[in-house]
């Protein structure tokens, strides 16, 4: 099993540009999570999906952030326009969980985003 695959691993962009982060969850998993990790704020859950449907997006910082899951094997997190304060490591995780169960989350290696 290849695990959760995120791309790109590193992204450097200029303020105002659109950034798209991609995630391929583990096959058969039906929950997908997007996290952001910074030194100041630690690990924050941005949004999660169950069966491709967004369940909780209360962690999405503002309208500049959007996430989609068009099918069970692909999700995107988009930032438009990007700002320097968006610089962070973004993690995707997937889980075989159904809502209300306690299954393990499997994390990708992350995308390190730098907005100049």
Partner 1 sequence: GDSVTQMEGPVTLSEEAFLTINCTYTATGYPSLFWYVQYPGEGLQLLLKATKADDKGSNKGFEATYRKETTSFHLEKGSVQVSDSAVYFCALTSYNTDKLIFGTGTRLQVFP
Question: Which residue number, 19 or 47, has a Cβ lying nearer to partner 1?
Answer: 47
Q: Give me the least distance between CB of 19 and partner 1, in Å please.
A: 19
When asked if residue 45 is in the footprint of partner 1 (CB under 8 A), the reply is: yes
Question: Which residue number, 50 or 81, has a Cβ lying nearer to partner 1?
Answer: 50
- CA distances for 49 relative to 5, 15, 82, 85, 96, angstroms: 17, 28, 23, 25, 12
CA 86 from chain centre, in angstroms, equals: 13
Question: Which residue number, 19 or 93, has a Cβ lying nearer to partner 1?
Answer: 93
Q: Which stretch binds partner 1 (CB under 8 A): 20-28, 62-70, 79-87, 98-106?
A: 98-106
Q: End-to-end distance of the chain based on CA atoms, in angstroms? A: 36
User: What is the DSSP track for 72-113?
Assistant: TTEEEEEESS--GGG-EEEEEEEE-PPTT--PPPEE---EEE
N residues, the chain = 116
Q: Give me the least distance between CB of 81 and partner 1, in Å please.
A: 27
Which residues make up the interface to partner 1 (CB under 8 A)? 4, 31, 33, 42-43, 45, 48, 50, 55-56, 91, 93, 95, 97, 99-110
């Amino acid at each position: 099993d290849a695990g959760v695959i995120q791309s790109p691993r590193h992204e450097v962009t200029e303020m105002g540009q659109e950034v798209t982060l991609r995630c391929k969850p583990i096959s058969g998993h039906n929950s997908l999570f997007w996290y952001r990790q910074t030194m100041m704020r630690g690990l924050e859950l941005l949004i999660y999906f169950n069966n491709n449907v967004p369940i909780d997006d209360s962690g999405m910082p503002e309208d500049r952030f959007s996430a989609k899951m068009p099918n069970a094997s692909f999700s995107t997190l988009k930032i438009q326009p990007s700002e320097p304060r968006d610089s962070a490591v973004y993690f995707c995780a997937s889980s075989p969980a159904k809502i209300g169960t306690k299954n393990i989350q499997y994390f990708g290696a992350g995308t390190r985003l730098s907005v100049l």
